[in-house]
Structure 1
Amino acid sequence: MKWTASASFCSGLLILAGCGNADNTTVGPSPAYDRLLRTMYRNTVPTVTAAALVRELRLPEAPLLLDIRTPAEFRVSHLRGARLVPYDSLATLQLAGVDRAQPVVVYCSVGVRSERMGERLHALGFQNVHNLYGGLFEWVNQGNPVYDGQQATANVHPYSALWGVWLKRGHKTYE
Structure 2
Amino acid sequence: MKNKILYILLFFSSISFAQKSIAEVLKKYNKESITYITAKDASKQQNVVILDAREFSEHKTSRLKNAIYVGYNDFNLKKTIKKLKNKQQPVIVYCSIGIRSEDIAEKLKKAGYTNIYNLYGGIFEWKNNNLPVYNSEEKETDSIHTFNKAWSKWLKKGIKIYD
**Structure 1 residue aligned with 2:72:** 87
2:10 equivalent in structure 1: none
8 Å contact from structure 2 (residues 92, 116) kept in 1:
yes
Tell me which of 115, 119, 138 is aligned to 2:106.
119
1:71 and 1:36 mapped to 2: Cα distance? Answer: 23
- Which protein is bigger by CA-based radius of gyration? 1
Letter in 2 for 1:15: A
TM-score (normalizing by structure 1): 0.77
Q: Conserved in 1, the CA contact under 8 Å of 2:91 and 2:117?
A: yes
Per-residue deviation, residues 42-69 of structure 1 (Å, max 9, x unmatched): 111011001111111xx3xx21000010
TM-score normalised by length of structure 2: 0.82
Match of 2:87 among 76, 79, 100: 100
CA RMSD of aligned residues (A): 1.7
After TM superposition, give the deviation of residue 127 of structure 1 in Å. 1.1
CA distance in 2, matches of 1:157, 1:53: 20
Query: How many residue pairs get matched?
Result: 145
The structure 1 segments of at least 4 consecutive aligned residues displaced by more than 4 Å after TM superposition are none
Call closer, same or farther: CA 1:16–1:55 in 2, change over 3 Å: same
Percent of aligned pairs sharing the same letter: 33
SS at match of 1:168: coil
The answer to whether the 8 Å contact 2:30/2:99 transfers is yes
Take 1:142 and 1:49, find their aligned partners in 2: how far apart are those partners? 10
Structure 2 unaligned segments of length 5 or more: list them. 1-15
Structure possessing the higher relative contact order (Cα contacts under 8 Å, 6 or more residues apart)? 2
Equivalent residue, structure 2, for 1:69: 54
Contact 2:17 2:150 in 1 (8 A): no
Q: Name structure 1 gaps, 5 residues minimum.
A: 1-12, 18-31
